[in-house]
């Protein structure tokens, strides 16, 4: 059992295959990358009864990158509605990992689009959401300026990733 002063909130970020949902449902507090209903259903079914609902964010495919996962922007409201009906999940908002850009406007365009989707869900469709997770080390200033409530800053803390092969 963890000491209360050392309580950690665990966030799962990454593409989640349906056959890997059980350990995530059992051990995490948040899943930031729910991109389809099947994953949400499995997480809800596999969440232990003695744990609070799992906080989830819908991952939005905001940039046209083949390598990125996510729900298409037009499909977000329907997925959000379906998630709110699952008993062991709590929809908290949306997240995205926009494509990198060398220009300020290139960085801001997808961030502004994400903010518009978030506001539409919250203010027009009346979803009870509070989290817009976007922005990483390279674009966190632009993300905060565009309304992000949560940034992911691994490289700013730990340095850039080393993709070279280790011998």
**Lowest pLDDT segment from 6-10, 23-27, 43-47:** 6-10
Which residue bears the tokens 């079914």?
A: 45
Q: Is the pLDDT of residue 3 over 80?
A: no
Give per-residue pLDDT as tens, 54-107. 999 999 999 877 767 899 999 999 999 999 999 999 999 999 988 888 888 888
- Which one, of 10, 3, 12, 13, lies nearest residue 97 by Cα? 13
Return the percentage of the chain with pLDDT > 70, whole number: 91
CATH number reported for the structural domain that contains residue 36 in this entry: 3.20.20.10
Q: Is residue 64 part of a domain?
A: yes
Is residue 82 included in any domain, yes or no? yes
Do 155 and 135 contact (CB within 8 A), yes or no? no
Judge whether residue 117 has pLDDT over 80.
yes
Q: How confident is the model at residue 19 (pLDDT cuts 50, 70, 90)?
A: very high
Average pLDDT, the chain: 89
Which domain covers residue 88, as residue numbers?
A: 10-158
Q: Give a yes or no: residue 118 inside a domain.
A: yes
Q: What is the pLDDT of residue 124?
A: 96
In the predicted model, what is the mean pLDDT of residues 134-162?
Answer: 80
Give the pLDDT confidence score for residue 2 in this predicted structure.
Answer: 54
Total structural domains in the chain?
1
CA 95, 100, 103 angle in degrees (round to 5)? 120
Give domain status of residue 138, yes or no.
Answer: yes
Q: With cut-offs at 50, 70 and 90, classify the pLDDT of residue 7.
A: confident
DSSP symbols for 141-153: HHHHHTT-SEEE-
Is residue 88 within 8 Å of residue 53, measured between CB atoms? yes
3-state secondary structure of 44: helix
Nearest Cα neighbor of 46 from 70, 82, 18, 72 is 18
């Amino acid at each position: 059992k963890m000491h209360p002063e050392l309580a950690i909130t665990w966030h799962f970020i990454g593409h989640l295959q349906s056959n890997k949902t059980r350990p995530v449902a059992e051990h995490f507090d948040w899943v930031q990358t729910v991109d389809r209903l099947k994953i949400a259903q499995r997480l809800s079914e596999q969440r232990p009864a003695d744990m609070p609902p799992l906080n989830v964010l819908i991952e939005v495919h905001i940039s046209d990158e083949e390598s990125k996962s996510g729900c298409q922007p037009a499909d977000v409201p329907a997925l959000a509605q379906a998630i709110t009906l699952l008993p062991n999940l709590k929809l908290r908002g949306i997240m995205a990992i926009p494509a990198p850009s060398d220009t300020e406007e290139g960085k801001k365009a997808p961030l502004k689009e994400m903010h518009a989707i978030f506001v539409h869900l919250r203010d027009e469709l009346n979803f009870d959401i509070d989290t817009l997770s976007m922005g990483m080390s390279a674009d966190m200033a632009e993300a905060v300026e565009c309304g992000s409530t949560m940034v992911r800053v691994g490289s700013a803390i730990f340095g850039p990733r080393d993709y070279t092969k280790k011998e």
